[in-house]
Structures are given as C-alpha cells and as structure tokens.
Amino acid sequence: MSFRRTRAVARKEFLHIVRDARSLILALLLPFVMLILFGWALSLDVDKIPTVVYDRSRTPESRDLIRQFTGSRYFQVVAVAASDADVDRSIDRSRALLGLVIPEDYAKDLLAGRDAQVQLILDGSDSNTASIALGYVDGVVQAYAAQLRSDAQVQKGAGKLKSPVEPRIRVWYNNDLVSRNYIVPGLIAVILMIIASLLTSLTIAREWETGTMEQLLSTPVRPTELVLGKLSAYFTLGVTDMLICLFIGVIVFDVPLKGSVLLLFFSSCLFLFGALCWGIFLSASTRSQLIAYQLGTLTSFLPAFLLSGFIYAIQDMPVAIQVFTYIVPARYFVTILKTIFLKGAGLEILWGELGFLFLYAAIVFVLASRKLRQKIA
C-alpha cells in the first residue's frame, strides 16, 4: 500500500467536500440542530402534571389533601371544577392530565376513622406518561395516608406511629433524574451514524454515476488505498462533528462528563471508522446513489435511533428484537457513551463493548475493500 496514493485520494475527496458547500454546511449544522432539538424540545421528564380539582367537600380536611398535590413539584393545579362535567371537559380537551374529585362525605369519613375515598381520573392516552403520573399520585396519597395515621395515633395518646422500615433512596449517576443527561450522550451515536453512513454511502456510487470511477480505474490506486483515502476525508468531518457534539453537550446542556475523555475519543473514533466503512461497503455494492442512500438509512440511521437504547429501553422490547439488537453497533456505542458520561467507568467495564466495535470495524473494512476490488475487477 502506498501512502502517497492514499493521500492523493484523500486530497481529492477533501476538495470535493469543500466544493460542495451545501453538503458541508449541512454536515456541520446537523449536530447543532439535532442537539438543540433533542436537548431542549425532547424531554422524558414528567413533572408539573396539569391537574383539575373538584372539591365537593369544601372542608379544611379536603383543602389539606389538595395542598399535598399543589405542594409537590410533580403536579400543577390548572383549574378548579364546579361539576363532574367540568372535570371531564378539561381532560377531554387535554387541558388536564389528572382529575382529583373529593366527595362530600370525605371529611366526615376521615374524622370518624373510616376509609375516606377520593376519585382520581387519569388520561391514559399516553400510556407511558400516565403510568409515571400514576406512580406519583400513589406516592403522594400513600405519604398523606401515613401522616394521617400517625396523627391519629398521637391524638389517641398512643405515641407517634413509626414505620418498621425506613427507606432511604439514593440515586446514583444522574442525581437530578434529568432526562437530558440520558438523551444527549446517546444522541452523539445517532449523529455520527448519520454523518458516517449516509454521506459515505454516496461516494463510490457517485463516482460511477459521474464517470470518474473509470478514471480512477486507470490509475495504480489499489482498493485498500481508495477506501482509506475516501475514509480519511469523511473521518475528519466526523471527528469535527463529534467535537461539536461534546462541546454543546457539556458546555451548553451541562451534561456531566465523569469518565475519561481519551477513552471517549478513542471509542468514538473506532465507532466512526466502522460506520464509514459500512457506508463505503454500501456504496460499492450499488452504483445508484438513491439505492445507496436508502440502504444507508435502513441499515444505519433507523437501527441506531430505534434499537440502540438511545431512547427506548432494550429490555422492554420483544425478545426477538432484543436478540437482533446484539448486531447493531450503535447499541454498544450508546452503552459506552452513557457509561463514560454518567458513571465514569473505564476500560475494565467497557472492554466487551470496545472489543465488539473493533471487530465490527475490522470486518466491515475487509468487506468494503473486497467489494471494491470486485467492482474494479
């Protein structure tokens, strides 16, 4: 292999990227736009749940129950209903997610020591949000019920009621439970996969369509040199995008980076190299830019977005899909990113994921070189 010929191919590809100003601007703006949209617009945090209250009891006891919801950061009373129809109307029009209805005999039952019932109406259109909201409601009601039982024991002179078990919850790695800290690291993998696979999937096919491949065939450039030369240009572009992602994620969104920066950079370069080789392989397998782009979207962007654990938890997927995710490289890279960012773990934990990325990059590089050799032959 000749370094001089590889450098010549790389220079040619660099010039093509620079001359195609629209593609270059798009490639550099894509990380910024996606991070801004996903970091600010997309949030998995469920708080300030819009709540409508219908207090039929109108007693100090019922107002005390309402204060349990208004005092929680998870609920926000947006309306006070005058009838059951008002509650239904607020939920039907999506003004409220939760309806709290307190019956007339609530205070009477509570003061008599009987079970006091309240009605909670929850909009289950969004099942995920509704499930989380239901957990918050249950927590508020259980805590309030325990407080009432303790106060009743004190009034009877039996002393303050003590729980036999005292839970102490400690949240590791993402103390504030901010979904942005979970989303932004995984988004880096999606962005690199888009840049790498979709851009390089067009390069060889473009050479065939424009007729410049015949000129390359007349030169002494070998398939390996052609692959490495083309990869070097897009690799530089991908590294630039990766640095943009890191800057925005850490500086703008204040995502904690607890692990090794060098390990993060090395794993990103390894993943980027494999993704670039996959794009070259797709481009060499077809002489149509349209087909190459469609294959790149189908085999890189969609699996990276849906099957990598970027947003959707893999353990919640069907078993067959979980098994399929083991061949998705983005799954391992997303794990590496989130572990380095949030947990600060090192090579002793991530050696398996890094080993798979290295094996994937080596296999795809060989496949791309052989496929290009077949095309040249």
- Reported as a single tens digit per residue, the pLDDT across 64-76 is 888 888 888 888 8
Would you state the pLDDT for residue 263?
92
Residue 81 pLDDT greater than 70, yes or no: yes
Question: Where are the domains positioned within the chain?
Answer: 3-43+178-376, 49-155
Higher-pLDDT residue of 262 and 368 is 262
Would you state the pLDDT for residue 255?
85
Residue 221 pLDDT greater than 60, yes or no: yes
Q: What percent of the chain has pLDDT over 70?
A: 86
* pLDDT band at 227; cut points 50, 70, 90: confident
Residue 86 pLDDT greater than 70, yes or no: yes
Residue 337 pLDDT greater than 60, yes or no: yes
* pLDDT band at 356; cut points 50, 70, 90: very high
* pLDDT band at 245; cut points 50, 70, 90: confident
Across the range 145-163, mean pLDDT stands at 63
Across the range 93-116, mean pLDDT stands at 84
Higher-pLDDT residue of 99 and 116 is 99
Give the highest mean pLDDT range of 24-38, 229-243, 323-337: 323-337
Would you state the pLDDT for residue 317?
86
Would you state the pLDDT for residue 217?
61
Residue 43 pLDDT greater than 90, yes or no: no
Q: What is the chain's mean pLDDT, rounded?
A: 81
**Main-chain phi, psi angles of 163, to 5 degrees:** -75, 135
HEC-encoded secondary structure of the chain: CCHHHHHHHHHHHHHHHHHCHHHHHHHHHHHHHHHHHHHHHCCCCCCCEEEEEEECCCCHHHHHHHHHHHCCCCEEEEEECCCHHHHHHHHHCCCCCEEEEECCCHHHHHHCCCCCCCEEEECCCCHHHHHHHHHHHHHHHHHHHHHHHHHHHHHCCCCCCCCCCCCCCCCCCCCCCCCHHHHHHHHHHHHHHHHHHHHHCCHHHHHHHHCHHHHHHCCCCCHHHHHHHHHHHHHHHHHHHHHHHHHHHHHHCCCCCCCCHHHHHHHHHHHHHHHHHHHHHHHHHCCCHHHHHHHHHHHHHHHHHHCCCCCCCHHHCCHHHHHHHHHCHHHHHHHHHHHHHHHCCCHHHHHHHHHHHHHHHHHHHHHHHHHHHHHHC
Q: What percent of the chain has pLDDT over 90?
A: 9
* pLDDT band at 354; cut points 50, 70, 90: very high
* pLDDT band at 152; cut points 50, 70, 90: low
Residue 206 pLDDT greater than 90, yes or no: no
Residue 359 pLDDT greater than 90, yes or no: yes
* pLDDT band at 229; cut points 50, 70, 90: confident
Residue 197 pLDDT greater than 60, yes or no: yes
CATH number at 49-155: 3.40.1710.10
* pLDDT band at 208; cut points 50, 70, 90: low
- Decide: 126 and 94 in contact? Cβ < 8 Å: no
Would you state the pLDDT for residue 164?
63
Would you state the pLDDT for residue 270?
92
The mean-pLDDT minimum among 2-16, 45-59, 230-244, 291-305 falls in 2-16
Would you state the pLDDT for residue 74?
85
Residue 127 pLDDT greater than 90, yes or no: no
